[in-house]
Structure 1
Amino acid sequence: MATKTAGRKMLLGGEWVDREDRIPVYDPENGEQIDSVPAAAKEDMEYAIQVAEEGAAIAESLTVRERMDILNKAAAYIDERREEFAETIAKEGSKTINEARGEAKRAAETLRLGAEEARRLTGESINFDQMPGNENRMGYYYHFPVGVIAAITPFNDPLNLVAHKVSPGIAAGNAMIVKPATETPLSALKLAEALVHAGLPKKVLTVITGRGRDIGDTLVESSKVNMISFTGGLETGEAIAKKAGLKKLSMELGSNSPAIVMADTDLKKAADSLTSGAFAASGQNCLGVQRIFIESSVYDEFKKHMTKAVSSVKLGRKLSEDTDMGPLINEKEAKRVQEWVEEALDAGGNILAGGKREGALYHPTLLENVPEDATIVKEEVFGPVVMIFPVDSLDEAITRSNQVNYGLQAGIFTKNIDAAMKAARRLHVGGVMINDSSDFRIDAMPFGGVKGSGLGREGVAFAIEEMSEKRIICFKLEDF
């Protein structure tokens, strides 16, 4: 029977431990404390790293079948308790209960993908005799684990983004040290609970709760940590890269996602899709639509559809079945979004919908006429604000889409295959969604960006490649 420890203890080297110093966990909707977790100290992280070295050898020795069974059993554990997981996600974060249910379902799928891909982590033979003088050589390569992987995760997808690091890490035979966001540690602890229940050997996984300033540098600077998988902001990612030293890095650092609306598309469908893409998870989504470029001939018509769609987003309590959007993760973030909107308005922009703050809640907001040098145009807003701009051509839309230092995903709405292919080839991003918003992802696809949006690719099969190394084996045959 699983130990019910989520939200009360942390998993340190496979053991559930407590500490006197604790960090409260609040519901951003009402500011009420819903739980607390241990505040790990530097010594705890040092111990976690030490144990993970032993755990790496244990993880590597697990057979493919054992890795598959553990991940599948953990997925089944989540499925059986999906509502419990969903309520945890919703209460500690910004997601509505319906969004949280979707995340819990996806997390189970992410674990199953890890199980499937574990069996596919194969090598292939190498023709050494392609080079003259090597007729008596033959060989192959195979994948071996990186070793100890540090996984640093954000608050906006507190379960599935942890699963996206832990699942491929375990599938590839690594030991994992997870440092979840301080605001949302409970979901990560519940994932650890599922893996412990599934029979993951001790020392292979640590989920350590604590303040970044106390334990972060110890983790990223350690020479015993072989890889860092980080999801978060660009500034933090750059700081980690400078401190990490010579180790593998995989980083998803956010975006400022564009969408292009051509005159030949169904404008209402495009507006509905883009509204969903802009305001899911209260806009705290690296894939969230932020800038929309519309052909001038249909700009006014599209604006009407978009304004209506944004105004119809229903705010309410996160656990209510009919709520579309809840609060941001805290009032500080809501105030930052408010400041960026006010700066845009002072520079000549105007509000078509929203623009109001109530504590941590910021109403879904649609802006137009915002100048290109405004902060909210150049940077990642990570909040419920989207902007619309008229353009005279697809070329102009692509050029303006590419003008920011981000490139995660983009969307284009058109019935013209040539326009779609032109956008797909010329948008400087990691993914282009045709007739969909940038906010589309399945957990099996390669996911990542260019420029300030990060390094490497997630998506379970692709993350496994990042979390393993290739070893060449060559036989020289004496009598051949």
Structure 2
Amino acid sequence: MTSTAAAPYAFWLAGRPATGTDSLEVTNPWDGSTVAAVSVPTGEQVEEAVAAAAAAQRDFAATPAHVRAAALDLVARRLGERAEEIARLITAENGKPVKWARGEVGRAVSVFRWAAEEARRFNSGEAQRLDTDPGGVGRLALTRRFCHGPVLGIAPFNFPLNLVAHKVAPALAVGAPIILKPAPATPLSALVLGEILAETSGLPAGAWSVLPVPNDRMAELVADPRLPVISFTGSDTVGHRIKDAVPRKHVTLELGGNAAAVVLADWSSEQDLEWAAARIATFANYQGGQSCISVQRVIADAAVYDALLEKVVTKVRAQVTGDPSDDATDVGPLVDEAAAERVARWVDDAVAKGAKLLTGGDRDGAGYAPTVLAELPGDAILASAEAFGPVLSLHRVNGADEAFAAVNASRYGLQAGVFTHDLQLAFRAHRELEVGGVIVGDAPSYRADQMPYGGVKDSGNGREGVRYAMADYTYERVLVLTGLDL
């Protein structure tokens, strides 16, 4: 895919390439260079896409499972074939180190592969005999799932391909038309996905559109009654605003977090602490900390706190920063300079209020050095907000009671990591921690794309993970057959 100022990237309108009258510029966060221009759809073109999705709803829902599965299989295969090209594109538009971008493409391949498999087995239905009571003699209930209707998928910048995949693949798997709105800063990966979707066959013309509309035009799409399902990934502020604006719609929200890694007293051997420190250092800083399950808080038992702190600081300092296109780089820039400036302000606020800066704390343009804080006061912004940058803080506690209470004190509840060998403590964490996922023996940043993923409290509602998103896009409808000889 190539683009010039005179010929910007086309967007995808009801499965075909189209251009509008305006364009937006995509810049590289690392050096500020222009990556490409992207055509922006007009209001009339957006209306055409939504109308096409609404018109396609019945035919798409009736499309045989093997047709949808074949299309999804093709997307998985073609993403794999173009993996290096797409990874380099992600790095250019997002600033993500290329080694992490390659991982993102691999995950998107998996998402579409899982969706193809689920499309084949989803919605087989459940039969129930109703003659368990006299009034149900001769009756049989068959329950199947049916689409709510077309989906509006709103994706963020931090995983510009894989989080798009988590909107698109489940919708296509269940036969729900989808209007995808990629993040304005990072639309290129989604547009390349549109290229690949255009290679599929058997899907109705209105089954999918990729519309890079600016954020200030999103409200019109959100309010459109022809899009009864909204799947949003992004900030809690915007997500709650969307849900409040359309309370009668089916809105799923995958929002932010300030994920905690809990290190309990039994995780005390040299090998244990080396593993925990390495995982914490890596996953506090991967994606430049721009992941909602990036490690932001380390809650360590007093018995291991000092040894762990020393190892974490050492391993954070060893993170390689620099040009994200270099295979050796661990930590690239944030998405833009404004994001780095915000992180710098929040770290400065913490230090001014008494936090100890153990390493990092430096900004260079859109880049921010991997940073570790200790003794973070409760009134610091970072104590309650989502950093969304390469910053972590360490907190000393006494025992599991204090550790779990500290995790639950957050207004967020996405995922938590618990380093323990004690199976009883693992099950207790699963029972007591107010989060959507508990990762035992590792950082909270682990995610397998087929598992249910989402949070509670200000981290949102609903679940991603292919089969779980398919359930969110559909509802149960019962058919009762009467007069049967069972």
1:327 aligns with 2:330: no
* Correspondence for 2:410: 404
1:290 partnered with 2:296: yes
Task: Tell me the alpha carbon deviations over residues 72-93 of structure 1, each in whole angstroms, 9 at most, x when there is no partner.
Answer: 0111111111111101111100
> How far has the Cα of 1:375 moved from its partner?
1.1
The one-letter code matched in structure 2 to 1:111 is F
Aligned equivalent of 1:459: 465
Which 10-residue stretch deviates more, 95-104 or 133-142? 133-142
Q: Any conservation in 1 of the 2:265–2:399 contact (CA below 8 Å)?
A: no
Q: Which residue of 2 aligns with 1:63?
A: 64
The equivalent of 1:369 in structure 2 is: 375
Match of 1:209 among 207, 212, 219: 212
Per the alignment, residue 96 of structure 2 pairs with 95
Equivalent runs, 1:2-401 vs 2, <5 Å: 8-121=9-122, 122-199=124-201, 200-214=203-217, 216-265=218-267, 266-401=272-407
**Shift of residue 156, structure 1, vs aligned partner:** 0.3
Distance 1:403 1:113 in 2: 36
1-structure distance, mates of 2:445, 2:13: 35
Kept in 2, the 8 Å contact 1:179–1:209? The answer is yes
Relative distance call for 1:198 and 1:181 in structure 2 (3 A) is same
SS of 2:297's equivalent? Answer: strand
CA distance in 1, matches of 2:357, 2:41: 44
Q: Secondary structure in 1 aligned to 2:134?
A: coil
Contact 1:67 1:171 (C-alpha < 8 Å) held by counterparts: yes
Per mean C-alpha deviation after superposition, the further-off stretch among 455-464 and 137-146 is: 137-146
Unaligned 5+ runs, structure 1: none
Q: Which amino acid aligns with 1:374?
A: A
SS at match of 1:442: coil
Q: Distance in 1 between matches of 2:377 and 2:210?
A: 44
Alpha-carbon offset, residue 42 of structure 1? 3.1
CA distance in structure 1 between the aligned counterparts of 2:485 and 2:413, rounded to whole angstroms: 55
How many residues were matched structurally? Answer: 477
Q: Distance in 2 between matches of 1:478 and 1:291?
A: 60
* Contact preservation (8 Å) 1:94, 1:156: no
State the alpha-carbon separation in 1 of the partners of residues 308 and 83 from structure 2.
39
Query: Is residue 16–residue 198 contact of structure 2 (8 Å, CA) maintained in 1?
Result: no
Separation in structure 1 between the aligned mates of residue 113 and residue 8 of structure 2, nearest angstrom: 25
Moved more, 414-423 or 83-92: 414-423
Unaligned runs of 5+ in 2: none
In the other structure, the counterpart of 2:438 is 432
- Between the aligned partners of 1:49 and 1:146, the Cα distance in structure 2 is 15
Shift of 1:126: 1.7
SS across alignment from 1:320: coil
Q: Is the 8 A contact 2:52 2:205 kept in 1?
A: no
Q: CA deviation at 1:479?
A: 7.5
Question: Deviation at 1:414?
Answer: 1.4
Preserved CA contact (<8 Å) 2:139 2:484: no
Provide Cα deviations, 1:390-417, integer angstroms capped at 9, x if missing partner: 0011100110111111100000111222
* TM-score scaled by length of structure 1: 0.97
> Residue 409 of structure 1 contacts residue 433 of structure 1 at CA under 8 Å; is this kept in 2?
yes
* CA drift at 1:131: 3.1
Structure-1 separation of matches of 2:345 and 2:330:
24
TM-score of the aligned structures, taking structure 2 as reference length: 0.96
State the 1:139 CA deviation: 2.4
| 1:296–1:390 contact (8 Å) kept in structure 2 | yes
CA contact (8 A) 1:220 1:244 kept: yes
Q: CA deviation at 1:372?
A: 1.6
Q: Secondary structure at the match of 1:256?
A: coil
Mapped partners of 1:239, 1:415: distance in 2 = 41
Q: In structure 2, how many angstroms separate the alpha carbons of the residues matched to 1:257 and 1:169?
A: 29
Asked if 1:418 is matched to 2:424, the reply is: yes
CA deviations 1:354-403 (Å, max 9, x no partner) are 11000000000000011122111101111100000100111001101111
Whichever residue aligns with residue 456 of structure 2, its letter is V
Q: Secondary structure, in 3 states, of the residue corresponding to 2:303?
A: helix
Q: Hey, what's the Cα distance between the residues in 1 that align with 2:456 and 2:247?
A: 21
Contact 1:222–1:244 (Cα < 8 Å) also in 2 = no
- Distance in 2 (alpha carbons) for counterparts of 1:264 and 1:401: 18
Q: Which residue of 1 aligns with 2:480?
A: 474
